[in-house]
Amino acid sequence: MNRRLLFLCLLLSLPILNFAQNCNCESNFLWVKKTFEENDAGFQDIISKKGQDAYALHNAMYLEKIKQLPNNQECARLLNQWIRFFRNGHIGINYIGKTNEVKKVAEKTEPAIESDQNRLKATKPFFEKIDANTTYVRIPDFEISEKKAIDSILLANRATILSTENFIIDVRNNPGGSDASFSSLIPFLYTQPIRTVGTLFYSTDLNNQRMLELSQNPDFDEKSRNTFKKYYEKLAANKGQYVDIFESKVSVTKLDTIQPYPVHIGILINENNGSTTEQFLLAAMQSKKVKLYGRTTKGMLDISNVNIVTAPCGDIELYYGLSKSFRIPDFPVDDIGLQPDVFIDKTIDANNWINFVRDHLHGKTD
């Protein structure tokens, strides 16, 4: 009996042990499944919620489809469907192998700022004064690589923002990035202490490697890199556990100054906002000055801090989450989103959103 069990265990492990040698759709599936199960911070919560039987049925159904596919983009697409069993945000499969498509490389140019649509197409943050009572900043991305640009444009226009009644912050289509990238916005909207609910990080060798890489990233200042190093050391000492690296379930941000201006702040949001952008909105919503305008956000924040790893075959990347929020289960955001204070319906043209918010902040009504 013991020999039979040993033989079965060895047999079941062979496809996983050999996936690097047998690069096909099935081996990629087995690698994705194993890596996700062992490292994603939200995996066990979903299994507990949906049940092991439902997961087994899901796996069996997809495995039958996968066995019939070559190792190509269609395989990656199917794997991306398989992983949606868990949630929609902070997970995914991206195909990075060779394709037969000829891609045209076009030079990126900034569009002229003539309409809301062109503002949305901008790839870098920019500032403008819309009228005597309204300033506007467009922030298309919160990636850490954009922090210097965001800080710079806010610093250069600080005096104007702090002497103007209304301020519009446009983060539509901003998918997220790093919390550090929105820190320079907080002093403009601050009215009272801001509470930020913390996260637990799931400690594994693969997950902890990302924290080590952050501690060596030159885009962060020395203080931040040293902090990341301490986090890494704490995670490495607690493998297989959910670790409170911040040593606090809630952090409170207190500033010495409440700026008299701007008086009113409107933040433009839409269905393409997720991750760090939603974290920024949770902070901004606590200000007495702020109202959110637009559409419900994407909802991808509960399981967060994405890690990206490449399969041994080298043709796909797996995205998954390293942490889960202390807000769960009391205040879920994943697959739900954050709702605006003022909904912008479809009768308002896309080119007129900013004018709508400007007029609303001025107290004008049709």
Cβ pair 137, 152 in contact under 8 A: no
Asked if pLDDT for residue 297 goes beyond 80, the answer is yes
Q: 48-79: per-residue pLDDT in tens?
A: 999 999 999 999 999 999 988 888 899 999 99
Q: Which residue has tokens 């990636």?
A: 143
* Entry field: residues in the chain: 366
SS3 165: coil
Task: Quick: pLDDT tens for 238-273.
Answer: 999 999 998 889 999 999 999 999 999 999 999 999
Categorize the per-residue pLDDT at 114 as very low, low, confident or very high, splitting at 50, 70 and 90.
Answer: low
Please check whether residue 186 is in contact with residue 267, taking contact to mean a CB–CB distance below 8 angstroms: no
Q: In this predicted structure, what is the pLDDT of residue 51? A: 97
Residue 10 has pLDDT above 70, yes or no: no
169 phi and psi angles, rounded to 5 deg: -110, 115
pLDDT value at 201 more than 90: yes
Q: What is the pLDDT of residue 365?
A: 60
The span from the CA of 352 to the CA of 359, in Å, is 11
As a whole-number percent, the residues of the chain with pLDDT over 90 amount to 79
Place of tokens 């400690």: 203
Q: Indicate the range of 28-42, 117-131, 195-209, 249-263 predicted with least confidence.
A: 117-131
Average pLDDT, the chain: 89
* Helix%, strand%, coil% for the chain, nearest 5: 40, 20, 40
Work out the angle between the directed axes of helices 25-39 and 73-83 (0-180°, nearest 10): 30
Cβ pair 96, 315 in contact under 8 A: yes
pLDDT, tens digit, 9 for 90 and up, residues 27-44? 999 999 999 999 999 999
Q: Which two tokens stand for residue 162?
A: 């702090």
pLDDT band for position 291 (cuts 50, 70, 90) = very high
State both tokens at 319: 């995205």
Residue whose C-alpha is closest to residue 297's, from 326, 277, 325: 277
- Which of 64-78, 87-101, 173-187 tops mean pLDDT? 173-187
Who's near 140: CB < 8 A, 6+ residues apart?
120, 122, 123, 124, 125, 171, 173, 174
User: Average of pLDDT values for 332-340?
Assistant: 95
* pTM beyond 0.85, yes or no: no
> Which positions ≥6 away from 17 have C-beta within 8 Å?
none
At 77-89, the pLDDT tens digits run 999 999 999 998 8
For the cut 70, the answer to whether the pLDDT of residue 124 exceeds it is yes
